[in-house]
Structure 1
Amino acid sequence: MRKCQLCILLLILISQSYTISHSAISGAKTSCLENEFPAKKGSFCCDKCHPGFKLKAECPEPNKRSECVKCENGTYLEKSNYFKTCFRCQPCKKPHFKEISPCKHDTDRKCGCEDGYYKKKLDDIEWECYPCKKCGPGQFKTGECNQEQNTNCSCKENHYPAKDNKSCKPCTECGVWCKHLCETTPIPVKSIHPTSPSGTLPQILVPVCACITVVALGVFMLYEGIRLQRKRNRALSTQTSSSSAAPEDQTFIITVPPDNINESVAFINQPCKPEQHRKLPDCVPKEIKIHEFFYFVLDEVPIGRFKELARRLGVSEQNIDRAEQDHRNCKDAHYQMLKVWSDSGSGGGNNVLPYHRIQMFTETLKDMCLVNCADNIENRFLSQDTSSSS
C-alpha cells in the first residue's frame, strides 16, 4: 500500500514538471536568424524568400521551406523578405525624363534626365529635370552639365559679375573684382643705389642720378633751415610779448609776428607758452576744415603710396580693405581711410581737424620720402596767418 502511494506521488510530480516546462517553452519569444522569420502557426522559424520573390505560404513545420513565387512584371523586391506583395516599379513619365535601367523583378526602374538637362532636388525624395544653363558674355565654362549638377561658369580675367549673375562685365575702375586697376608703381624720391641689376642701365645715368640727388638734398636742407629759423623768430616774438603780461584777472594782449603788424588776438587769463620742436603755441586757434584738407591730400599724395600712408597713420588692414570694398572709386576709398584716421584722433571738433594732427601727418609724409607733398600741405595749412582763424 505504501509503495502504491509513492508511485502515485512520483507520477504527479512528473506531470507537473512537464506542464511547467511546456508552458515556459510555448510562452517564450522565438529567436530567428537574419534570413528567417518567426512562423505564425508555432514557436519555430521559417526561411525568407529571395530578392525578386514574394511569400505565398510559410513553412508548415520546422526544417520545411516556405513557398515563394516570383514578382509579376512591373513589380520588384530588392531584399530577402516574407512580404505577400511586391512593390510597383516607378515610371519615368515626367517632362524630360528618360529610363536609365529597366524594371526587373529584383530591382526598381532607374530614371534620369535627357541630354541638356540636370536633376534638381525639390525635397529629400522628389526631383525634376531642369535645362542646363549656358555661360553668358564675359564668362567661360568651368564645369560641364550632367545628371547631378548644372553648368558652372566663371568670369574671364579682368571681368566682374553683373547684377543678374548671368554675365560678366569688363573692369573699368578700381573695385573688389578689379584690384589690378588700384595698383600703380611707386616713384622713388630718394635713392642713391640703382634698383636694377648692374649693366642694365647705361653707366652714364648713375653719376647723373647721384648729382641730382645731392643737389635736391642740399636745396631741401637749405629750405628746412630757413623755415625753422622763421618759426624760431616767431616763437621768440610770442614769448617776449607774454613776458610783459598784465596782473591777474586782466586781459592779456599777444602781439603776432611782424608779418601781421597792427593785428592782435586777445585772450583772458591764458598766457601763451611757445612749444618746442616746431609747434605753434596752444593759445593760437587753428581750425582747418576736414573735407578741405582731405581733398587737398588726395590731389597731392600718389595713388600707389596711399595705402602705405594709411598704415603708417595707424589705420588697420581691416579698415583699409573695408574702404576698398565699399567704394570702387579710388578717391572715395582713400577719403574713407583718411576719415578713419581723423576719427581715431583727439582734439578739434565736428568737421574740424586740430593743428597738431596735421603736423603729425606731414612728418609721416617726410618719413615716406614724400617731401614735396609735405611741403605743399604745410604751405597750404600750417603757414597761414594765425589771425585769419581768430
Structure 2
Amino acid sequence: MRKCQLIAYVMLALISQSYTISNFAISGGQTVKGTCPDNEYWNNKGFCCDKCHPGFKLKEKCPEPNKRSECVKCENGTYLDNSNHNENCFSCRKCNKDHSIEISPCTFKSNRVCGCEPEYYYKKLGDLAWECSSCKKCGSGQLIAVKCAGEQNTKCQCKENHYAVKGKNLCELCVKCQDECPHLCKSSTPPNPLRSANPTSASGSIPQILVPVGACIMVLALGVFMLYEGIRLWKKKRHALSSQKSSPASEDQTLIITVAPDTEHDESVPFTNQPCGTEQNGKLPDCVPREIKFHEFFYFVLDEVPFGRFKELVRRLGVSEQSIDRAEQDHRNSKDAHYQMLKVWSDSGSGGGNNVLPCHRIQMFVDTLKDMYLVNCADNIESRFLSWDPSTSH
C-alpha cells in the first residue's frame, strides 16, 4: 500500500514539472501577460513594450523585446499628461465661455486651465461642462462670511443681533422675543440652582456636595452685599453729620443764599426735592436750591452708565422701543443717540421748567439704577446732584 502511494507522488511531481517546462517553452521564455512593469505595457505580439513619456504619443510599437517604441511629441493645442501608449493626444480645453479667462496656458504636457473674471465664479455643470456664474450679493442685514473666488460662491451670514428671513436674501433686526432672537426673551421666574441638583435625575446625577457648596456661595455673596450696603450707608450718614457740624448757621438764624439769575431765563426755577423752611418776617426761605440743567445731567450720566446697560436703563425709565430705534437711526454716533434717548425721557416728565430737571425726576433715575444693581453709578449721580452743598451752588 505504501509502495503504491510513493509511486503516485513521484508521478504527480513529474507531471507538474513537465507542465511548467512546456509552458516556458511555449512562451519562449518571455514574461507572462499582465506582469509588465508600470513603465511598460503588454504588446499583442506576446511581450512587453515601453510606454511613451508625458507629452508624447505612440507612433510605432516596439518590434521585439528590449527594443524601444517610437514616440512623437503632441501637436500644438493637444496634450498628454501621463505615461501612455496612446496613438492620439487629447485636445486642450478652450476658455471661450462668457466672462471666462485663461489661468494657465495649454502645453504638450498639461491641459489649459480656465477661470472667471472678478465678480464671477467657476461653476461645474457636469464632468466636462462649466460656466462663469455671477457672485451672490449679500442682502440687507448681512455680511460676507466667505468671499467669492475660484469655484466658491459668496457665503453670507446675519449681522449681530439680526435673524435670517425665510425665503429672502436678507436679515432683520431683533426687536422682540421670538425663536430667532432668544437673547430678548427673559424668564419670569429665575431658575432654581438647587432644583437641578437631584442625585436621582435620569439625565445624569450631580454630586450631592454641589448643593451645600452652592448654598454657601449664595450666603457668602449675600453677606458681602449687606456689608457693602452697610459701609455705604454709614459713610453717607457720617458725611451728612459732618456737613451739619461745619454749617455756620444756627437753628435760630435764617440761611439766605443769593442765587445769580440765569442768563438764558428770566425766572428762577424751584428745586422741588429739597425741603425748604417757611418764610419768616418776609425773608427768603431756609434753602434755595441750584438749578440743574438737563444737558449737564445728561453728559454726566453718559460717562457714568456702562455702554452695554444703557438701553436697559432707558427702557426701565419708560422710553419706547420706537423712540430708541429712531434715536439710533438719526444719530450714527452712539453717544449722541443715547443723549437723544435721555431727552425723550426728560420731555415725558413734568416740572422743572425749560431745560431744567426737577429733583424728583433725578431721584427716580437714581432709584432705577439701584434696581439694576448699578449702585456705584447711582451713588455718583446722587452725590453730584442730590447732595446739596453751598460751595457747589451756582
TM-score, scaled relative to structure 1: 0.42
TM-score, scaled relative to structure 2: 0.42
